[in-house]
Structure 1
Amino acid sequence: MCIIHKVVYFVKVNIKSKSSEETEALGEKIGRLLKKGDIILLTGDLGAGKTVFAKGIGRGMGINDYITSPTFMLVNEHTGKIPLYHFDVYRIADYSELYDIGYEEYFYGDGVCVIEWSEKIEPLLPKDNLHVFLKMGDAEGERDIEIISNGERYNDILKEMNR
């Protein structure tokens, strides 16, 4: 008997952003490459730039809405050629709260999901995703950004982004 294992490598990119404008521009660059069904995870401390990055993603997707953190709403829906579902799960006590809003329709639907504080709902997350880690840098406004692709689709995004 022959067993074939498919090996999928991840791609990791480290970027130093010197301002919120650069952080947003990076999000915009990625936003231009997204397709329906894509999942973007944003991880970082309060004030690390998650919402700024999400604004850039929306702009890159051609969404003209003013994008703010949906802290008290759980998810904001933004209409565009492809819908953007912007989650902020900071305030949930348990990931099971997402069952109440039918998270599967968002995660596996026709839009792009951007999820702030994604580590709080880890058991529900699709294994294929683009994970963005944002950390405050040494200087004012500076951010250290690490982006890891999980899955071939996201490897392609990072490769295309670096062209």
Structure 2
Amino acid sequence: DFYRLDTEEDLYNIGWEEYSEGGVTVAEWADMFPGLIPERAIYIYLSNKGTTEREVKVIWGEEAPDAITKEIEKYASCH
């Protein structure tokens, strides 16, 4: 949760480099430190659309892993 941090240094002090090695890293409020987010990132935006409904937007750039983006597209086209 980047919201709780004041500087990029705070992030490195809690081990950001280790968190972001391999696998999947999920960061809330990632827009607070955009320079630390890799080009391969996939962004998920959630917004309220009333009291019982939410909108989900998934956005990525050209560097995002094809295997993951194809699965997202496949799933989204079915629902």
TM-score (norm 2): 0.75
* Greater percentage in strand: 1
Partner of 1:135: 47
- Greater RCO between the two (CA within 8 Å, min separation 6)? 1
Does residue 114 (structure 1) correspond to residue 64 (structure 2)? The answer is no
Does residue 98 (structure 1) correspond to residue 4 (structure 2)? The answer is no
Deviations 1:109-150 (A, max 9, x none): 23321111111121111111110111111x212111110122
The CA deviation at 1:152 is 4.1
Q: CA RMSD in A?
A: 1.7
- Would you say how many aligned residue pairs link Structure 1 and Structure 2? 73
Unaligned runs of 5+ in 2: 75-79
Distance 2:64 2:42 in 1: 10
Deviations 1:16-64 (A, max 9, x none): xxxxxxxxxxxxxxxxxxxxxxxxxxxxxxxxxxxxxxxxxxxxxxxxx
Does residue 148 (structure 1) correspond to residue 59 (structure 2)? The answer is yes
Counterpart of 1:129 in structure 2: which amino acid?
A
TM-score (norm 1): 0.40
Partner of 1:124: 36
Unaligned runs of 5+ in 1: 1-87
Match of 1:98, SS state, is helix
- Aligned partners of 2:47 and 2:56 also within 8 Å: yes
* Greater percentage in helix: 2
Match of 2:60, SS state, is strand
* Percent identical: 33
Matches within 5 A, 1:10-159: 88-107=1-20, 109-137=21-49, 139-150=50-61, 151-153=63-65, 155-159=66-70
Give the ranges of 4+ consecutive aligned residues of structure 1 lying more than 2 Å apart after TM superposition: none
